């Protein structure tokens, strides 16, 4: 059976949908997904724009990148959350078996957890007894595993969330490069992407309690580096082929 502290480190309250930290986790994942969508699609469309002035070619590449990226993010998220949920279900099964086979030891263990959190031995024992009488499995799932058995993270929900987040991010460079006249395309896209990355960098730094300035600078540097590299690859390719 795993200890309280181990689990807190690896599962930052993610499955508790109703808690504030869980909502922040979802928001953080959404912002990171949008950030990925901005950077990878910007690199793609700026690269194609380096090779050709054909608006349809740029648009087609951008839309294909949006769809492929969203699906890949959704698939990755589905797999990772499914695995996490399998792990949580297995832990719940183990816990249920232990509760059947050694209920006294489990109640002592629960009391021990509350005592370690600062309750007096008498109060911890009383809390453990009352929680065990109410719903033993839910009490152990909460205290030991930090999971709510009735509210495990849904892989489909997580997949949809990352699909939408990536697509929203991807739409920014895509529209910024598709709408302006040919001579302004790349610069409009670069400007829009920098603004977008300042925004996502600021939000994710705030959510993670990190230094905003540095986080934003790093984020913008990564994005502009991606666009610069793909642009020159596109130019080289356009010169060689065209
Ligand atoms: Zn237990």
Residue-wise pLDDT for 224-233, tens only, equals 999 999 999 9
Q: Classify residue 162 as left (phi > 0), alpha (psi -120 to 50) or beta.
A: alpha
**Distance (Å) from CA 139 to ligand 1 centroid:** 8
**Distance (Å) from CA 153 to ligand 1 centroid:** 21
Instruction: Give backbone dihedrals phi and psi of 187, rounded to 5 degrees, phi first.
Output: -70, -35
Residue 120: Cβ-neighbour burial (10 angstroms; 0-12, 13-18, 19+): exposed
Q: Is the pLDDT of residue 10 over 50?
A: no
Q: What is the pTM of this model?
A: 0.78
**Distance (Å) from CA 124 to ligand 1 centroid:** 15
Residue listed under structure tokens 């065990």 = 132
For residues 87 and 110, what is the distance between their CA atoms, to the nearest angstrom? 21
**Distance (Å) from CA 158 to ligand 1 centroid:** 28
Number of Cβ atoms within 10 Å of the Cβ of 12: 12
Q: Which residue has the higher pLDDT, 8 or 114?
A: 114
**Distance (Å) from CA 92 to ligand 1 centroid:** 9
pLDDT value at position 8? 40
pLDDT value at position 241? 66
Residue-wise pLDDT for 12-63, tens only, equals 444 444 567 777 778 888 999 999 999 999 999 999 999 999 999 999 999 9
pLDDT value at position 242? 55
Average pLDDT score, the chain: 89
Task: Say if residues 80 and 153 touch (Cβ distance below 8 Å).
Answer: no
Among 157, 16, 15, which Cα is nearest to 74's?
Answer: 157
């Amino acid at each position: 059976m795993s200890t309280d502290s181990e689990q807190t480190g690896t599962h930052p309250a993610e499955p508790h949908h109703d808690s504030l930290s869980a909502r922040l986790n979802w928001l953080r994942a959404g912002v990171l997904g949008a950030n990925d969508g901005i950077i990878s699609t910007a690199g793609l469309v700026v690269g194609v724009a380096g090779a050709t002035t054909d608006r349809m070619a740029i648009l087609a590449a951008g839309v294909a990148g949006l769809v492929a990226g969203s699906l890949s993010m959704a698939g990755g998220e589905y797999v990772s959350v499914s695995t996490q949920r399998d792990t949580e279900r297995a832990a719940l099964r183990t816990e249920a078996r232990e509760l059947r086979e050694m209920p006294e030891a489990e109640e002592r263990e629960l009391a021990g957890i509350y005592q370690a959190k600062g309750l007096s031995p008498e109060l911890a024992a009383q809390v453990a007894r009352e929680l065990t009488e109410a719903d033993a499995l839910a009490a152990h799932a909460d205290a030991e595993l930090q999971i709510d058995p009735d509210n495990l993270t849904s892989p489909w929900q997580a997949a949809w969330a990352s699909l939408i987040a990536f697509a929203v991010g991807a739409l920014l460079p895509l529209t910024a490069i598709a709408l302006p006249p040919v001579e302004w395309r790349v610069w409009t896209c670069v400007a829009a992407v920098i603004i977008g990355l300042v925004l996502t960098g600021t939000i994710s730094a705030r959510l993670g309690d990190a230094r905003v300035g540095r986080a934003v600078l790093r984020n913008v540097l990564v994005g502009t580096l991606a666009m610069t590299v793909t642009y020159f690859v596109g130019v080289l390719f356009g010169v060689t082929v065209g």
